[in-house]
Structure 1
Amino acid sequence: MALQRVFISDLSGRVGQTVLIRGWIFRLRVLARTTFLIIKDCTGQIQCVAAPEALRDMRPKLDDAVEVQGVVCEDERAKGGVEIQVTTAAILNRAAQTLPFNSSSDIRSVGNEILLEYRPLALRNDGVGAVFRIQAAILRHFREWLTARHFTEIVSSKIVSGGTEGGTNLFEIRYFDRAAYLAQSPQFYKEHGVAGFERVFETGHVYRAEPHATSRHLTEYYSLDLEMGFIDGPEDVIELERELLTYIFERLNSDHWPILRRYRQDKLPALSGAPIWTFDECVARLGRADLINDLDPEAERQLCRIAEEECGVAAAFVLGFPLASRPFYTHPLTEARAAGFDLLFDGLEITTGGQRLHRREDLERALMSRGIDPASFESHLKMFELGMPPHGGLAIGLERLTAQILRLSNIREAALYPRDRYRVTP
């Protein structure tokens, strides 16, 4: 009977057994009478020890895809306490003779463009692969926390007839005999979801045709969105995000600290103590009368430093931006201020959220005040005739959140295949 492949993480309980493993050659040391191979699969690494006859005519090299058959032996010096004495081995596919780097290389000297061009190879390097393991954990914990609190996950279309913010910053596509656009947000669909399910969330790509070329912007990014009904005000959404991110951070600290500690010295904080400051209060704290409609990057950094000094956490919710600077569907907090907020974390805005208008007549007035004909939003507005409750929600950029958690210098490091003004490959 042929041996079934065993994952490396399962080998410690198979001492004395003959096993078959598959993976890539991560490290290789060839001596006169013995060859040492470190084989890596998706669960870990193990040292394999081979005599010359076991590797006859194999000519192994780094990053070859291989299968190895051998006996699991105890070795207290080995990682995991076991190694494999090789009986046979075979190449499943050879890596190129010359590569710009290897999966075991110190990639600090490898440029980001090369890491992107050879993405699968880079992902086998712990320095790159760990970023996306953390990102996957963020996404998993986001889903599980919301699902446990009566949120329904929805999946909405990314091909739309217009924008959620009046048609700006849209990528136009040819859709048979007419123009359509890539969605810049699932906002309208989330609100429809509230009218149907009360509490919804969605994770998916969104698109912004903004000609940025900075370390903090992407034209395609992955958005973690939620919307919930029957709220009293934006503070309900803020409190939910405090609890949500505190949970995610706690899980990352407890389950992934060996990875996190490579990128940051301190554990992720609880956000229960993150203050809520009004926009006007922030302007006054900073002494920045030039901040009229929004915060700039330096203001975001300074506010997080102030929050850390005063509240012990480098995060702050900023509420009450000028109403004219927020999307038309934003509920007013006062006549001139919006019931919308941003969350600043570790010096960067990672969330935009707030309370939305929930009555059709209010939405129509908001559109007309901006010179937009409500008729162009008819398919959306009629959903507000179905008993839409007071509601609000938020959106978190997954790549930004990942970059801030791991203190990466460029958001492109947190995107598997980043799309910006210049890059559409690979």
Structure 2
Amino acid sequence: MDISRTHLIEDLNSSMEGQDVLFGGWVVDLRKLGKMAFLTVRDVTGMCQVIVKGDAMSLLEGLNRQSVVRILGKVQASKAKDFDFEVSAIELQVLAKAEYPLPIDPIGRLESDIDNRLNSRALDMRNQKTASIFKLRSQVLASIRETLIKRKFIEINTPKIIGSASEGGADLFSLDYFGKQAYLAQSPQLYKEQMTIGLERVFEISSFYRAEKSHTGRHLSEFTSVDIEAAMMDYTDVMDVLESIVVDVFKNTAENSKTEQQDIGHEIKIPDSPFERVSYTQALEELGNLDIKLEFGEDLQDSHLRSLGDKHPGFFFLTDWPMKLKPFYIHEKDDDPTLSRSFDLQYGYLELSSGGRRLHDPEQLKSRLKEQNLDPASFEEHLKTFGWGMPPHSGWGMGLDRLMTVLIGIDNVREVTLYPRDPDRLKP
């Protein structure tokens, strides 16, 4: 069976009148009027109207919407208000029939809730709003890579099956690895730090895992993280890199995805920059002015972050957190060892990224591990690399799924994840 095509639908236009074209797609609509029929056919690039007459009409018997067809036809002028041209079918080939009824209506005439759509996710991609979300996600990934590569970052791929807890915390999925205890990585932290020895500036975009029983619109058990690590950069330097990535993402998608924005019903607006930088100490003062009293060293909860977000709308950095709230590898500030050289990137109450300057002295690292009741022996493989000439370095990790929700103005990461995994969902 020949399944080739000469054109995608976006390649067709009214200037091709009289030209033979061969294309394929799925049937969005089918209307029979006597001895002729009007088909609306869509592929991933667009939609066109097809006129079917004569012998080809017999092929339409029992043909349901969403079936896949291949059409040889001639481009001609159209009287339809929605189309500048149409294609008169010379030959019509049914490549795959769709069953009836389908589990969801991908056209969106009958709305389905998110769970039903996720249960039929592949079919949901024929909904133009859903498809546009993932076209945008692809553009976002391309933009991030372009920005980092221009800044001399090298893309790496680190293991997802690891032998020790990378951040010394809980929330790890454990598994048997040929009789040994192993875990699914919750970040590439230790590996990306090690790579600064020779590659200096590295980044990774990959799936990571967190065994956290959270039931919110911003948590997933498997999530996509964008991570960087850079030698000879302080935490303020990698904050600048992060800001440039975010601004470039919004700029590139705002300018190059007009159709997708129309399909989603959301206009992407380029954020103001530079992003405001608010220290933890300043945040406590601002909350205090709102009669929200917190002691130094207390973590900021959702309600606190919402109050701060009201005062600092849009993107802003929360910097210089107390050391006690940060992982063992974070560097303290020179002028105040109770504070860390660290930051979170916020969009209102939503944390998008966390990062900072790292310790690069192995003795300091061992002391910090002990302070946090972690066994240095468990990190032996990591610690030995610090004796090989580890440069000072900084980095961050950013949740891609959360960034996508901000970009397109929704509040559920499941909408921007192909096959989300959370405490209740393991299929499809």
TM-score bracket relative to the smaller structure: over 0.9
Name which of structure 1's ranges 260-269 and 292-301 shifts more when overlaid on structure 2: 260-269
Q: Tell me if structure 1 keeps the 8 A contact 2:323–2:339.
A: yes
Q: 2:332 aligns to what?
A: 332
Residue 52 to residue 98, structure 1, CA distance change in 2 (3 Å): farther
Provide the C-alpha distance between the structure 2 equivalents of 1:234 and 1:380, rounded to a whole number of angstroms: 21
Q: Secondary structure at the match of 2:12?
A: helix
Q: Does residue 405 of structure 2 align to residue 403 of structure 1?
A: yes
Q: 2:286 aligns to what?
A: 285
Q: CA deviation at 1:225?
A: 0.7
Q: Tell me if structure 2 keeps the 8 A contact 1:242–1:271.
A: no
Provide the C-alpha distance between the structure 2 equivalents of 1:99 and 1:264, rounded to a whole number of angstroms: 25
> Letter of the aligned partner of 1:105 in structure 2?
G
Q: 2:248 aligns to what?
A: 247
Residue 197 to residue 261, structure 1, CA distance change in 2 (3 Å): same
Q: 2:138 aligns to what?
A: 136
Provide the C-alpha distance between the structure 2 equivalents of 1:257 and 1:296, rounded to a whole number of angstroms: 37
Q: 1:425 aligns to what?
A: 427
Q: Secondary structure at the match of 2:175?
A: strand
Q: 1:311 aligns to what?
A: none
Name which of structure 1's ranges 81-90 and 179-188 shifts more when overlaid on structure 2: 81-90
Q: Does residue 310 of structure 2 align to residue 305 of structure 1?
A: yes
Provide the C-alpha distance between the structure 2 equivalents of 1:102 and 1:266, rounded to a whole number of angstroms: 25
Name which of structure 1's ranges 188-197 and 295-304 shifts more when overlaid on structure 2: 295-304
How many percent identity over aligned positions? 33
Give the alignment partner of residue 165 of structure 2, picking from 140, 154, 163: 163
Written as runs of structure 1 = structure 2, the 5 A alignment for 1:328-407 is 328-333=328-333, 334-407=336-409
Provide the C-alpha distance between the structure 2 equivalents of 1:261 and 1:34, rounded to a whole number of angstroms: 33
For normalisation by structure 1, the TM-score amounts to 0.93
Provide the C-alpha distance between the structure 1 equivalents of 2:348 and 2:78, rounded to a whole number of angstroms: 44
Residue 123 to residue 4, structure 1, CA distance change in 2 (3 Å): closer
String of CA shifts for 1:35-61, please: whole Å, max 9, x gaps.
111111121111111125322143222
Q: CA deviation at 1:167?
A: 4.5
Residue 7 to residue 275, structure 1, CA distance change in 2 (3 Å): same
Residue 191 to residue 82, structure 1, CA distance change in 2 (3 Å): same
Residue 91 to residue 261, structure 1, CA distance change in 2 (3 Å): closer
For normalisation by structure 2, the TM-score amounts to 0.93
Q: Secondary structure at the match of 2:238?
A: helix
Give the alignment partner of residue 416 of structure 1, picking from 408, 418, 424: 418
Name which of structure 1's ranges 191-200 and 161-170 shifts more when overlaid on structure 2: 161-170
Q: CA deviation at 1:259?
A: 2.3
Give the alignment partner of residue 72 of structure 1, picking from 67, 70, 75: 75
Q: 2:65 aligns to what?
A: 62
Q: Secondary structure at the match of 1:197?
A: coil
Residue 35 to residue 346, structure 1, CA distance change in 2 (3 Å): farther
Q: CA deviation at 1:120?
A: 1.0
Name which of structure 1's ranges 294-303 and 30-39 shifts more when overlaid on structure 2: 294-303
Q: Tell me if structure 1 keeps the 8 A contact 2:321–2:339.
A: yes
Q: CA deviation at 1:279?
A: 1.1
Q: CA deviation at 1:400?
A: 0.7
Q: Secondary structure at the match of 1:189?
A: helix
Give the gaps of 5 or more residues in structure 1.
309-313
> Letter of the aligned partner of 1:67 in structure 2?
R
Q: 1:237 aligns to what?
A: 238
Residue 148 to residue 84, structure 1, CA distance change in 2 (3 Å): same
String of CA shifts for 1:72-111, please: whole Å, max 9, x gaps.
123375666321101221211111111133221236x311
String of CA shifts for 1:167-196, please: whole Å, max 9, x gaps.
421101111121211001001111111111
Name which of structure 1's ranges 22-31 and 138-147 shifts more when overlaid on structure 2: 22-31
String of CA shifts for 1:239-267, please: whole Å, max 9, x gaps.
11111211111101100133235556553
Q: CA deviation at 1:414?
A: 1.3
Provide the C-alpha distance between the structure 2 equivalents of 1:359 and 1:92, rounded to a whole number of angstroms: 63
Q: CA RMSD in A?
A: 1.9
Name which of structure 1's ranges 214-223 and 237-246 shifts more when overlaid on structure 2: 237-246
Provide the C-alpha distance between the structure 2 equivalents of 1:86 and 1:264, rounded to a whole number of angstroms: 34
Q: Tell me if structure 2 keeps the 8 A contact 1:243–1:272.
A: no
Q: CA deviation at 1:307?
A: 1.9
Q: Does residue 257 of structure 2 align to residue 256 of structure 1?
A: yes
Provide the C-alpha distance between the structure 1 equivalents of 2:275 and 2:159, rounded to a whole number of angstroms: 34
Provide the C-alpha distance between the structure 2 equivalents of 1:236 and 1:58, rounded to a whole number of angstroms: 62
Q: Tell me if structure 1 keeps the 8 A contact 2:308–2:348.
A: no
Provide the C-alpha distance between the structure 2 equivalents of 1:331 and 1:267, rounded to a whole number of angstroms: 36
Q: 1:7 aligns to what?
A: 8
